[in-house]
Amino acid sequence: MTLPDAVFPCAQLVEKGDPDRFRTVMAAPMSARLRLFPLYAFNIEVARAPWVTQEAMIAEMRLQWWRDALEEVADGRSVRKHEVTTPLAGVLSPAMARCLDEAVAARRWDIYKDPFEDEAHLLGYLNQTSGHLMWTAAQVLGAPQGQEAAVRSVAVAGGLASFLRAVPQLEASKRIPLVDGTHDGIMDLARRIKDAVARPSLPASAKPALWPAIGAVRLLNDVTRDPGSVADGRLAPPLTPWRLGMSVLSGRVVL
């Protein structure tokens, strides 16, 4: 069974821009792919908007374009035509669109070189980006409302794992990614986020939403043992074919 023409460009965008998420979607049933590809394509467009230009005003305008599109969805108006917005509008509820608007707003941190104000600011960024995305993905796949906190705990762990792997690139771009970049500070942050992860109780249909965080807890465990691996760029990709395969076959997400 092939993807509909409206969703195929989103799949191509995810395959090129986020290969790990592409693999998780392709491991899911077709019904999930139709919902996840537009959502993850949207995430790629938003995540890269601050990085495709050195002009802060242009980056702000790019993010605002997506915020305006989400406002159209939230208000039930006709949505501007775009290879991502058109299928995305068919996936999101108004509440989901408003939630993702906060995720776009959080990406303004990526435009500038100001550090996070404190750890709460960093964790808020991870929750608004990774957390909002994963919770929306879970909802479109049928997750019950009572599992939001558990899903977000997984998302923040996955977001932190990705963020720590990106630290060398962020520092090379003159960013200050960590509030406390000492070995002790990194160890403590990784340990607390790892220990806060809950196991969401989701129907089988919604579990693919968690798959992008596969291996995150293992990576954070590695960081607590070797915090120098963050600055040195020695953290291996947490999502492996084996872990994804085990998660698919067992129905238990291998975190």
The string of pLDDT tens digits covering residues 21-38 is: 999 999 999 999 999 999
In angstroms, the CA 180 to CA 111 distance is 21
Query: Measuring CA to CA, which residue among 133, 203, 123, 116 is closest to residue 157?
Result: 123
180-236 tens-digit pLDDT: 999 999 999 999 999 999 999 999 999 999 999 999 999 999 999 999 999 999 999
Q: Is the predicted pLDDT of residue 1 greater than 90, yes or no?
A: no
Q: How confident is the model at residue 144 (pLDDT cuts 50, 70, 90)?
A: very high
For the record, the structure tokens of 140 come out as: 């479109």
CA 2 to chain centre: 25
